[in-house]
Structure 1
């Protein structure tokens, strides 16, 4: 196919994102005999993760292996996959024009965003080497591996308190690190104390360990606290600005807003699935949302085809 920037090519749907949500949607839509293109930028929220958990029949699988299997299972249905990022998108009447990195422009009747989230990690020396191995975000994904071990929680305010309390499910030894004044309310401080959760307000100097395994959290006053894992409660941002460019409603609390109908956004013809919608952030939920969005996309296409 020509890569001229003057040529446009039409699809029933272009899926932006090649993780569990995007591949699951592509599977359903491929089986619906739709002309589907998946654009995969190669940037994944769980890139640092050693294994994925909680995915029925695939518990413990490495994320790249899940993506490989997903792509392999799309082959009989003629789904096209390109390892390329989407640089821009705009709406033209009732069609979408998608511009790929490199300038090629493609057209589609519907658009499905499965672009995920980006975690804003704290600037802690030693963290990058341990992220995905002993430093995590999700207790449902990685809490089992940290069970009955000394666990640290990094966070501030009520969200840090909530995560620290949640971690008691996996270990009795939990300490909340606020990396500065905690500003805890009396009620929150009392609740943490009642459940045996310590609070350290000193600034964190660095994380120490070996081979990706956390051993201690060193504070600026020179003291160190032995921990075997650290769970973070930090901010997340949309992995792509495409939803905002299309004027979909996006909020910090809920991500890309969806209507009641199968993951369709507030922008007609644009659907969203996976972490970008900021519901339960599990891979199996992302895959389920991808299937739900695909159902919505196909129903919308059927309505147009039958007019």
Structure 2
């Protein structure tokens, strides 16, 4: 279930002036989704530019998983391959941070932090998401390695080890079930007591899962290796901590353009925020599209890449129709 956030009125874009580079499509975000969208467009001989800050969501991870043919590939290496493929079709990647955007009748104007501007017929926002973690010292420092959230991204790597599920909300029992498939050395730590009520404790006991009262005071580690979780009554040894992050879309451009966002709920609890879009990536704002985690907070790399491919194809089809109409009108 989701809760709508109405779109703000769009800010009209001024006419394109000299110094503003006109392109068919500007893609903001050079992760798996953005590069996939741009490559599809470049292969269709569209003038496409990708603006990227070089800080993907999965940068802390050792490798990409559940992506057929790319298992274990470092995130940086995957993106390097993607950039090379895009350049081979004359697509361009520009190291820049997009900080502002406005929209006119037939262009979207985007300004970078260094002052460069682009006037695009269509804009694809693929800036990904930000994982907001509970305020427990040590969680952020081990995020993506010893501290994980997804069994399909990291589960195999922590199999048969001591794993602590940090229960902060309703996702904890779900995570305990998934990671319990991978190790029988599982502990659920009730950081938020309401997340592990007596019915949940009975269920966990029946499954052979140990529960410990919290809250967690800090995540411990030595030389970058996670060793346990400190509580008021002692330390719970662990090689991995599982926690549910709150996921938020990352892009200042979305608010500028008045794109609609929504809260994603499960069991009456808001677990993420995302941009509303139809299955093709079309947002509530004309000429503005989204792909990847900015629209699908729970998407894995392979899913984000597939979404980018789909968006690129649909945007190209839109451009084809626009070009045909312009020729017929002329």
TM-score normalised over the length of structure 2: 0.86
| Separation in 1, partners of 2:69, 2:223 | 29
2:64–2:73 CA contact under 8 A, matched in 1: yes
Question: Which runs of no fewer than 5 residues in structure 2 stay unpaired?
Answer: 1-16, 265-272, 326-330
Q: Deviations over 1:196-231 (max 9, x none)?
A: 22332322222223232222211123x111111111
Find the counterpart in structure 1 of residue 300 from structure 2: 282
User: Which of 132, 152, 159 matches 2:164?
Assistant: 152
Shift of 1:157: 2.5
| Separation in 1, partners of 2:258, 2:210 | 44
Find the counterpart in structure 1 of residue 245 from structure 2: 234
TM-score normalised over the length of structure 1: 0.92
Q: Deviations over 1:71-110 (max 9, x none)?
A: 1111221111111110111101121001111222210000
Find the counterpart in structure 2 of residue 196 from structure 1: 208
> Which deviates the most, 247-256 or 185-194?
185-194
| Separation in 2, partners of 1:70, 1:264 | 23
Find the counterpart in structure 2 of residue 217 from structure 1: 229
User: Which of 40, 46, 50 matches 2:52?
Assistant: 40
1:214–1:229 CA contact under 8 A, matched in 2: yes
Shift of 1:36: 0.2
Compute the RMSD of aligned alpha carbons: 1.8
Q: Deviations over 1:44-89 (max 9, x none)?
A: 2112112111111111011111111111111221111111110111
Shift of 1:183: 4.7
* 1:165 alignment partner, SS class: helix
| Separation in 1, partners of 2:256, 2:208 | 47
Map 1:156-305 → 2, pairs under 5 A: 156-221=168-233, 223-253=234-264, 255-260=274-279, 262-278=280-296, 280-305=298-323
1:50–1:133 CA contact under 8 A, matched in 2: yes
* 2:194 alignment partner, SS class: coil
Find the counterpart in structure 2 of residue 77 from structure 1: 89
| Separation in 2, partners of 1:6, 1:121 | 44
1:165–1:192 CA contact under 8 A, matched in 2: no
2:36–2:308 CA contact under 8 A, matched in 1: yes
| Separation in 2, partners of 1:238, 1:193 | 37
| Separation in 2, partners of 1:143, 1:159 | 16
| Separation in 1, partners of 2:191, 2:34 | 37
Greater share of strand: 2
Shift of 1:186: 4.3
Find the counterpart in structure 2 of residue 92 from structure 1: 104
| Separation in 2, partners of 1:22, 1:183 | 37
